[in-house]
Amino acid sequence: MENSQILAGAAICTVLIWLGFTSFKTHFKHVFFPINTDASEIFIPFQIRICRLIGGGLMILLALLLGFAMMYLEEPAQHLADLRDQSEESKTKLIYTTEQLNFATRYAFFWIGFLITLLILVTTSSIDAIFSWNYQKQLHKSVAALKAIGIRRKNSDSASSKESQTPVNDQQFLNEN
């Protein structure tokens, strides 16, 4: 494995672990220990917190799987690829040993599992986005309703204050004719 591959893999693992841990830690206490002490802590709905908690855990799992693949699976897989390339160059038929076939099967299942985990992460993120979009739409409707109530109240307050101030204003500017 080349140094650039190692650096890229380490960077991806680091970012995934950091994002996953941050998301998991932030939403863990609100999901499993819901103490309503501050209104700002309960601002995000429960469904969104569950999606983000699951997403954080899946990101950590993907980072660990990627790190495992880099450390333990890359070298044997590269060896099999080199054997295949040599057999293609020499135009000979490559016959794999039972151990090599077992490794290739495990390797394939590992990457299928990795891709399924990634698909679950994308699905969870999509569900989170839908919940967040619905919640944002609900907030916009609530704010619009509150503004409408506030405008009506302001108009009614100003109308009632004008009515109460009208006699005073008339008294101030009495017609002297």
Query: What are the E-state strand segments in 40-167?
Result: none
Kindly state whether residue 54 falls inside one of the protein's structural domains. yes
pLDDT at 159: 59
140 in a structural domain: no
- Please give the average per-residue pLDDT across 89-107, as a whole number: 91
Q: How many residues does the chain have?
A: 177
Q: Is residue 18 part of a domain?
A: yes
Q: Is residue 119 part of a domain?
A: yes
pLDDT at 22: 92
| Domain assignment of residue 143, yes or no | no
> 55 pLDDT band (50/70/90 cuts)?
very high
Residue 34 in any domain: the answer is: yes
Q: Which of 55-64, 109-118, 149-158 has the lowest mean pLDDT?
A: 149-158
Higher pLDDT, 154 or 42: 154
- pLDDT at residue 157 above 80? no
Residue 164 lies in a domain: no
Domain range for 93: 3-128
The count of structural domains within the chain is 1
Contacts (Cβ under 8 Å, ≥6 apart) of 35: none
Angle between helices 46-68 and 98-172 in degrees, nearest 10: 150
pLDDT tens-place string over residues 129-142: 999 898 889 888 88
Q: Which two tokens stand for residue 152?
A: 């009506």
Is residue 40 domain-resident? yes
